[in-house]
Amino acid sequence: MIKIEKRNDVPMVLYFFTPFIAIILTILGGGIIFYILGFNPIEALKFYFITPISNLYGLSELLLKATPLCLIAIGLSFCFKSNNWNIGAEGQLTFGAIVGGGVALLFYNQEGFYILPLVILAGAVGGMIFALIPAILKTYFNTNEILVSLMLVYVSKLLLDYLVVGPWSNPEGFNFPETRQFSDSSRMPLLFDGLRIHAGIFLALAAVMLSWFILYKTYLGFQIKVSGLSLKTAKYAGFKGKTMILVVFMISGACAGLAGVGEITGPIGQLHRMISPDYGFTAIIVAFLGRLNPFGIIFASLVVALTYLGAETAQIFLQIPKYTGQVFQGMILFFLLASDYLLFFKVKILSLKKNELRH
């Protein structure tokens, strides 16, 4: 007979150590999958995890992909820490990109130092507004934020589709579903010649520092922490629950919007249908892998960004679909949840007793 018991005292060291166990298990699991598919697992894993970052360009690509993941995950950590399950960051990213991109398109034939800040601000506000929809529906109409935020992802994606094929499509674009190219003043400055890494990374780093400060040093952070641990206690202490829900969704939406605007003003340079390879969803894994801790999230975003790069390299060298990246991301989450379960609960196998044998 198997019996599961809650552990009373879980050491914090282990709590921050299990993500590493999850990553190691994921690599082992990946090796097994490659073996089953008929590849030499060691070589395949090398293509997946080493080759992509063995040169300067690769490292730049790693940071480029980690930037939006980190930004979104930082925002999500505010929601998740306070028991608000915003899983629509992908929608907030898309809507932020739409609003920011709209502003960039207004200035498509103009130059000026003020344009980029305006575009970035518009993106953040766009994401914030989009995140306010599930937040307001939750606080005033008792809806479930998981459903609402998820469904709004598709709303924003379809809106983007409509805009790029319809009113915003490039008049000189031969009916391709994309907008004009943004002017150089709407583009993120590149950090190095020939590499795609851009100034957006500073936004992500600023978000990390700021979120650490808010979460650990302010009254808002204290309220978020208490609400996440016990809503009953938050109510008893007299925290303004509704305001807090709105605030955490706004922070989260703004971060996702920034990530979206970072993509279109960074590597992409225009709006089209595929502005994000599901960064908004993958960032949920990043947030949890980073233990909702700002510095943990930096680390987690690098690891998960590597699965994106690895998948692309594997597609080129091993001719396996790049969707294996999602397999790896899924495995990380699976192993993380599994090791957390074993961390918080102990499984006892009891020997069968006499009376049970009788049955």
Partner 1 sequence: MATDLRISNISKIYPGCIANDNVSLQFKSGKIYALLGENGAGKSTLVKILSGVISPDNGEVYLNEKNLKLSSPLDAKKNKIGMVFQHFNLFETLSVFENLSIDATEDNKSLRVKINEILKKYNFSIDLDVPVLNLSAGQKQKVEIIRCLLRSPKVLIMDEPTSVLTEQETEELFISLKKFCDEGILIIYITHKLKEVLSLCDEVAVMRKGKVVSVSQTQNERVETLANKMVGQKLAKIKKKINISTNKDEIFKVKHLNFYSDDPFETNLVNLNFSVKKGECLGIAGISGNGQNELFQILSGEIITPDTSIIFRNKEIAKLNPKQRREYLMAFSPEDRISQAAVPELKIYENVALNNFKSSNFFEKGLVNEKKIKEHSKKILSDFSVNTDNVELKSQFLSGGNLQKLILGRELITAPELLICYNPTWGLDVGAINYIHETLIKINDQEKSTILISTDTEELLKLSDRIAVIYKGKLSKIMPSEEVTPEKLGVLMGGGSID
Task: Say how many CA atoms lie within 13 Å of 4 toward its Cβ.
Answer: 5
Terminal CA-CA length for the chain: 14
Question: How far apart are alpha carbons 349 and 2 in whole angstroms?
Answer: 5
| Residue 285 Cβ vs partner 1, minimum distance, rounded to whole Å | 24
State which residue, 8 or 109, has the beta carbon closest to partner 1. Answer: 8
By CB under 8 A, residue 230 contacts partner 1: yes
Which residue among 54, 144, 218, 243 contacts partner 1 (CB under 8 A)?
218
By CB under 8 A, residue 238 contacts partner 1: yes
By CB under 8 A, residue 144 contacts partner 1: no
State which residue, 273 or 348, has the beta carbon closest to partner 1. Answer: 348
Which residue among 118, 146, 159, 225 contacts partner 1 (CB under 8 A)?
225
| Residue 15 Cβ vs partner 1, minimum distance, rounded to whole Å | 11
CA-based max dimension of the chain: 85
Question: How far apart are alpha carbons 199 and 187 in whole angstroms?
Answer: 10
Which residue among 133, 148, 220, 292 contacts partner 1 (CB under 8 A)?
220
Question: How far apart are alpha carbons 287 and 278 in whole angstroms?
Answer: 14
By CB under 8 A, residue 358 contacts partner 1: yes
SS (H, E, C) 290-339: CCCCHHHHHHHHHHHHHHHHHHHHHHHHHCCCCCHHHHHHHHHHHHHHHH
| Residue 298 Cβ vs partner 1, minimum distance, rounded to whole Å | 23
| Residue 107 Cβ vs partner 1, minimum distance, rounded to whole Å | 36
What residue has token string 């952070």?
Answer: 221
By CB under 8 A, residue 175 contacts partner 1: no
Return the range that interacts with partner 1 (CB under 8 A); candidates 19-27, 52-60, 93-101, 219-227. 219-227
| Residue 169 Cβ vs partner 1, minimum distance, rounded to whole Å | 45
Buried b (16+ CB within 10 A) or exposed e, 299-332: bbbbbbbbbbbbbbbbbeebebeeebbbbbbebb
Which residue among 235, 242, 273, 348 contacts partner 1 (CB under 8 A)?
235
Return the range that interacts with partner 1 (CB under 8 A); candidates 30-38, 211-219, 271-279, 301-309. 211-219
DSSP letters spanning 50-112: TGGGSSHHHHHHHHHHHHHHHHHHHHHHHHHHTT-----HHHHHHHHHHHHHHHHHHTTT---
CB neighbours of 313 closer than 8 A, spacing ≥ 6?
47, 48, 51, 52
Residues between 318 and 357 with contacts to partner 1, criterion CB under 8 A? 355
Q: How many CB atoms lie within 10 A of CB 230?
A: 12
What sign does the dihedral 218-221-225-226 (CA atoms) show? positive
| Residue 352 Cβ vs partner 1, minimum distance, rounded to whole Å | 13
State which residue, 3 or 323, has the beta carbon closest to partner 1. Answer: 3
State which residue, 43 or 356, has the beta carbon closest to partner 1. Answer: 356
Question: How far apart are alpha carbons 108 and 105 in whole angstroms?
Answer: 5
State which residue, 217 or 273, has the beta carbon closest to partner 1. Answer: 217
Question: How far apart are alpha carbons 37 and 321 in whole angstroms?
Answer: 12
By CB under 8 A, residue 242 contacts partner 1: no
Which residue among 113, 167, 175, 232 contacts partner 1 (CB under 8 A)?
232
By CB under 8 A, residue 142 contacts partner 1: no
Q: Which residues bind partner 1 (CB under 8 A)?
A: 5-6, 8, 216-222, 225-226, 229-230, 232-233, 235-240, 355, 358-359
